[in-house]
Structure 1
Amino acid sequence: MSVERVHRLSYAVDAAAPAGALYTLVADTTPWPLFLPDTVHTERLEFDGAVERYSHWAGVDGELGRSLWRRALDAGRRRVDFREERPAGPLRGACGSWRVEELAPGWSRLVLEQELTVEEVPGAERILAGAGARGRAVADGLRAVAERWRGLDALLVSCEESVRIQGPPEAVHAFLYEVGSWAGRVAHVAGAEVVEDRPGVQRARLVNLAEDGSRYPTDEVRVCFPAAGRIVFKRTRPHPLLAAHAGEWSVEPDPAGVTVVGRHDVLLDEGAVERVLGPGADLARARRYVREVLGRESRAVLGPAQEYAGEPVRTLRSV
């Protein structure tokens, strides 16, 4: 008969940020791929205004893993209670809370309480230590982002490109999935290597061409949902001007054909602006530059996808 033991962990970190700003980062997991290095994708599955279920894709011990969470959000108390659904053994249970306390104007404390139930088997201590370390890493990451709250909006850029195709959605999704074949077919891709860790989970390394002909590499993790016509990705080595880059390719069928959308969400690296764009460049110029690059690269993918589906290329529409 297996023996289980409950471990209670606590971690607190102070932030030079208002309590409201820090709580917002805890409560909204959508931008976590831009803020937390190990987080690849989050997706809200259910939400009634107070209780949510969400899916979390993150790197665990060098591999990408998916976990399901249920959370109760209390904005008035600045508290979020959480519980993992169906944790993987030997972790039998994981729950706890995030709590944000106001220390003084412009100062707050983030408190993480974890209750982990672990089966006493070989390797259990490593699982327990890993779960605690990941919780602390999230707390430290959110604290670091919160301390940049005054200028954070200026560093975030989102954009989309879309195209209508009168062709089968399966063919379009196949082209987006086969990123390893993009070299020579997609204008800005000079080289592409793909490793599929398991069906639907890819690690891609692309060699990209800039407008001036120079080359820069990017690495990304891709999670593919063929039945839903979606591929979400996070670049673990993004464009030199970016601190983080995540996005999604989606194929949305309707009776007349499909709409293919490429979406990008990025976090600018403020310290790289002048290094990449030259002396005197500011964030406004960096935002314009990034939108131009991402738009151009999205269109370079969507055009061949349209041809691959057997449709003559039409004008692409920016969204």
Structure 2
Amino acid sequence: MPATHATEHSITVAAPPAVVYGLIADVAGWPAVFGPTVHVDVLEEADPERGGEQLLRIWATANGRVRAWTSRRVLDPAARTVLFRQTVPAAPVASMGGEWRVESTGDGTSRVVLLHDYRAVDDDPAAEELIARAVDRNSHAELAALKEAAEQGELRDELHFVFSDSETVAGDAGDVYAFLDRADLWPQRLPHVSRLDLTEDEPGVQHMDMDTRSPDGSVHNTTSIRVCFADRGLIVYKQLKVPVAMSGHTGRWEIEPLGDGTVRVTSWHTVTLDPEGVRTALGAEATPAEARALVRKALGTNSSTTLRHARRFAEEARARA
């Protein structure tokens, strides 16, 4: 018989069960909460009030690599459970499923239980060990991140924010995409990028190690994973190494044809500030509002610079055609 393995991880969270369950149910927001999750496409959505089935495509890191798989989830808001099962696993996983359970402890706190069951392709012992390490590492990381996010309470609204910058380009969407996709050429094309190493796990899944030069001359290093969708004019990314004032940063580049020969290209950022990091970087009296303004300016300046250069690249390409 195939060897199916089962695990259980749990954590106590000082937050109401409804808050904790809401973070688990909001799978599109997982990249901003859970470290291993890079991107989630919601292919079929469940009713937010009554629950039901979701179909998802998930990209996440496991043992240092990006894995992608398709999963089906069943949400039950009344019971505060989420069942999940991979419908198209990524090797060496032959099958993977489990359940999130959020239980009330009766004192305003919650107990979260995360169950997994899995089987390796051909029941290979080496693959089983690899999967076991990934499940254990990611489960601990996800539960710790869930606890941190839930326990922030109302402060999370101050620490978590989204913003965007856009350019309208009189050029072709394919040329704009090509400029953004070829990040390995950014040190030659963008004034604020001093170094960038780019590798690919597979076509469309990029690892970036980048040094960015600030207006004051200082250089900041970030590492990111990008997932590129050429057919959709979309590049999503997650920073694995972020500046000290942040605990998380995800983003995306969207290219939208406007139907009149132009395209709109937009840079989106989703940022979560780190309160301790804010005090370290800006001083003990610094407020989240001050940090938001500074982060917005720094990231927006770099994004706007990239957008302007992408516009010039695409418009010059059209002029030469």
TM-score (norm 1): 0.91
Aligned counterpart in structure 2 of residue 206 of structure 1, from 202, 205, 210: 210
1:41-72 Cα distance to aligned partner (Å, 9 max, x none): 12211114121111111111211110111111
Matches within 5 A, 1:109-124: 109-118=111-120, 119-124=122-127
Number of aligned positions between the proteins = 310
Residue 92 of structure 1: aligned partner: 94
Residue 166 of structure 1: aligned partner: 170
1:191-235 Cα distance to aligned partner (Å, 9 max, x none): 222222322121112211222221111111111111111111111
Distance 1:258 1:39 in 2: 30
Report runs of 4+ in structure 1 exceeding 6 Å deviation: none
Name the SS for the 1:104 alignment partner.
coil
Identity among equivalent pairs (%) = 34
Aligned counterpart in structure 2 of residue 16 of structure 1, from 14, 17, 32: 14
Distance 1:93 1:190 in 2: 44
Residue 26 of structure 1: aligned partner: 24
Residue 316 of structure 1: aligned partner: none
Aligned counterpart in structure 1 of residue 252 of structure 2, from 248, 251, 267: 248
The one-letter code sitting in structure 2 at the alignment partner of 1:166 is: A
1:224-279 Cα distance to aligned partner (Å, 9 max, x none): 11111111111111223211111001111132121101000011111121322235
Contact 1:260 1:302 in 2 (8 A): yes
1:111-144 Cα distance to aligned partner (Å, 9 max, x none): 1222323443232431441353133432232123
Distance 1:274 1:169 in 2: 42
Distance 1:295 1:128 in 2: 39
Residue segments in structure 2 that go unaligned for 5+ positions in a row: none
Greater helix proportion? 2
Distance 1:75 1:308 in 2: 49
Q: CA, structure 1 residues 184+275, in 2 after alignment: closer, same or farther (shift >3 Å)?
A: farther
The one-letter code sitting in structure 2 at the alignment partner of 1:123 is: A
Q: CA, structure 1 residues 185+24, in 2 after alignment: closer, same or farther (shift >3 Å)?
A: same
- Aligned-residue CA RMSD (Å): 1.9
Q: CA, structure 1 residues 43+129, in 2 after alignment: closer, same or farther (shift >3 Å)?
A: same
Distance 2:225 2:9 in 1: 30
Distance 2:88 2:125 in 1: 20
Name the SS for the 1:167 alignment partner.
coil
1:102 deviates by 0.8
Name the SS for the 2:15 alignment partner.
coil
Residue segments in structure 1 that go unaligned for 5+ positions in a row: 313-319
1:65-109 Cα distance to aligned partner (Å, 9 max, x none): 101111111111111111111224553322221111111232111
Contact 2:244 2:278 in 1 (8 A): no
Name the SS for the 2:28 alignment partner.
coil
Residue 276 of structure 1: aligned partner: 281
Distance 1:222 1:230 in 2: 10
Q: CA, structure 1 residues 273+166, in 2 after alignment: closer, same or farther (shift >3 Å)?
A: same
The one-letter code sitting in structure 1 at the alignment partner of 2:221 is: P
Matches within 5 A, 1:1-319: 3-49=1-47, 50-118=52-120, 119-133=122-136, 134-256=138-260, 257-310=262-315
The one-letter code sitting in structure 2 at the alignment partner of 1:112 is: L
Name the SS for the 1:123 alignment partner.
helix
Name the SS for the 1:233 alignment partner.
strand
More off after superposition, 121-130 vs 259-268:
121-130
The one-letter code sitting in structure 2 at the alignment partner of 1:95 is: G
Distance 1:183 1:40 in 2: 25
Name the SS for the 1:98 alignment partner.
strand
Distance 2:298 2:308 in 1: 16
Name the SS for the 2:44 alignment partner.
strand
Distance 2:21 2:166 in 1: 34
Q: CA, structure 1 residues 82+298, in 2 after alignment: closer, same or farther (shift >3 Å)?
A: same
Distance 1:157 1:31 in 2: 12
Contact 1:250 1:261 in 2 (8 A): yes
The one-letter code sitting in structure 2 at the alignment partner of 1:310 is: E
